Structure 1
Amino acid sequence: MHFHVLGTTEVTHHNHHLELGGIRQRAILAYLLLNANKVVATSQLLNAMWNGNPPPTARKMVQNAVSGIRRMLTTTTDTDTTTPALHTHPPGYQLRIDTETIDLYRFRRLVREGRHATTTNNPHHAAHLLTEALTLWRGRALADLVETGTNWSELAAIEDERLSALEDRLDAQLACGKHREITPELEILTTTEPMRERLCHQFMLALYRSGRQVDALRVYRRTREALIDNLGLEPGRELQQLQQRILEHDAKIQTPVLVG
């Protein structure tokens, strides 16, 4: 059984999609998956499902959804000891599960391995691992629930994890001399995330290494304007230093030479 939260909420078994029930049951399953192997208090579930304003029947609705999830988890005939199980565990519930069956946790593992490869000076392997991690995403996390108004703080944090992994992958590709290949992607990303300074830094570096100094400096000005207009802040020191190094044609920011 495999669980998917990086996109529409789905559960598959031998490539067949399982029926997850109504929106409330899907949401409770998704919340338990985000908190896999942790005890989630019933009060926490109620707050998440009804934004702190549960109806009088909310606890019964949660109990019904939990029963439905348990039935779904036991529909398979597998005897695998890793089959997930939803336990009642005061003060709430605990979904005991092998996290390798959840795409979010596989994503996090691959990102950790990719970052380790970066710290051991293996950018090619890092780029491969981080690319593999990012391909697990099929859209916005829990996209079907977001469409119905779900706005958990966990979702914003997971989206930030995706962007950070994307930036790590771009850094690895820059270290591999792939600046020309990633320039079109960075152009789109800096348009959708105009105040994300790390993306701007990467775009400027990719442009400069592609022989486009004027364009790199134009990106700096655009980012600076966005930061001042929206936040009243100047760019950070790293971005300012990169602008100066581009102006000076500093050899330290030229394409890196990989050994081996």
Structure 2
Amino acid sequence: MHRDHDLRIDVLGSLRAARHGADVRLGPPQRRTVLAVLLCGVRQVIATDRLVDCVWGEHAGSASVGSLHVHLSHLRRTLGSDSIVRHVHGYALAIRQDQLDADEFDHLAALGHAALRRNQFRRGRQHLAAALALWRGHAYEEFDGAPWARGEIARLDAERLGALVSRIDADLAIGERDVVGELESLVVEHPLHESFCARLMVALYRAGRQADALAQYRAHADHLVESSGLAPTPALRDLQLRILRHDERLTIPPRQADDKETTSDDEQDLADPNHHRKEER
């Protein structure tokens, strides 16, 4: 089946689409919702009844299915005739991984994580930074709060935080010291996220700011007690003790593997952005 190679859809922010490098109008809110529901289940068949329920909810009526078909017809004209495939009981969005920014993010993040597992910190950082640069705001921004979007938004937000933590790990591993300001902002934004607190403590200590690193631990511990009645984890308490003792391992980044090292079979598979969808062809 021929598909439009110049189609691009972005959901890591407000929903938008482009063909041949030019933005296209996706139409009124209901039509945008139809597309967003299909994107949340990309390459899966979404039942007609579910589409109607997601778009019209309790306001669905006898004319809703007909309206849905009209919206789908307009979307096909806008995105390409092969972009939406009709099945017996529903519809599926038929796009490649490199045509959707969320898929591209997943692919680049997976490459970055794979590189870090091999101690290829510079290569991993490059992939993870490229993945994070795709974000323009909150995923499915205009549909925040919609029950049908909640699961995919939560998944993408969790993957974004994971990629950010790993990118910061790569920064620390290669001796990058300009991460303190970023980590300070992240700790304010995610006050209960212990991973950011721990990494800020390490970054401050490596910058010669032991007192600030210990103060960060106390601030995090106080906030935990006040907000949830919990105490820092044993791992964070151990990090505090290592900082107090001037553990030399905190000042020496882990040994870096040569970035020219031959990639593993897994990484070679990941290098193909459609490796796990070849069976579609």
The TM-score, its normalising length taken from structure 2, stands at 0.82
Quote the Cα distance in structure 2 between the aligned partners of 1:240 and 1:46: 52
Aligned to 2:216: 219
Quote the Cα distance in structure 1 between the aligned partners of 2:49 and 2:107: 30
Deviates more, 1:41-50 or 1:243-252: 41-50
Tell me the secondary structure at the aligned position of residue 218 of structure 1: helix
Q: Does residue 218 of structure 2 align to residue 251 of structure 1? A: no
Aligned to 1:238: 235
1:47 Cα deviation (Å)? 4.2
Aligned to 1:115: 113
Q: Does residue 58 of structure 2 align to residue 53 of structure 1? A: yes
Aligned to 1:168: 166
Between the two proteins, the alignment pairs up a number of residues equal to 248
Tell me the secondary structure at the aligned position of residue 37 of structure 1: coil
| CA contact 1:37–1:97 (8 Å) conserved in 2 | yes
Identity among equivalent positions (%) equals 35
Q: 1:141 aligns with which of 120, 139, 163?
A: 139
Quote the Cα distance in structure 2 between the aligned partners of 1:31 and 1:201: 38
Query: What is the letter of the counterpart of residue 167 of structure 1?
Result: V
Quote the Cα distance in structure 2 between the aligned partners of 1:244 and 1:46: 57
Q: Where does the alignment leave 5 or more consecutive residues of structure 1 unmatched?
A: 76-83
Q: Does residue 206 of structure 2 align to residue 209 of structure 1? A: yes
Quote the Cα distance in structure 2 between the aligned partners of 1:198 and 1:72: 43
Tell me the secondary structure at the aligned position of residue 14 of structure 2: coil
Query: What is the letter of the counterpart of residue 55 of structure 1?
Result: A
Aligned to 1:12: 18
Tell me the secondary structure at the aligned position of residue 111 of structure 1: helix
Aligned to 1:81: none
Please provide the CA RMSD for this pair: 1.9
Aligned to 2:76: 70
Q: Where does the alignment leave 5 or more consecutive residues of structure 2 unmatched?
A: 1-6, 259-281
Quote the Cα distance in structure 1 between the aligned partners of 2:30 and 2:156: 21
Cα deviation code 1:2-32 (max 9, x no counterpart): 1111111111112211110111111221221
Aligned to 2:85: 87
Cα deviation code 1:54-81 (max 9, x no counterpart): 5224433333222221121237xxxxxx
Q: Does residue 146 of structure 2 align to residue 150 of structure 1? A: yes
Query: What is the letter of the counterpart of residue 210 of structure 2?
Result: Q
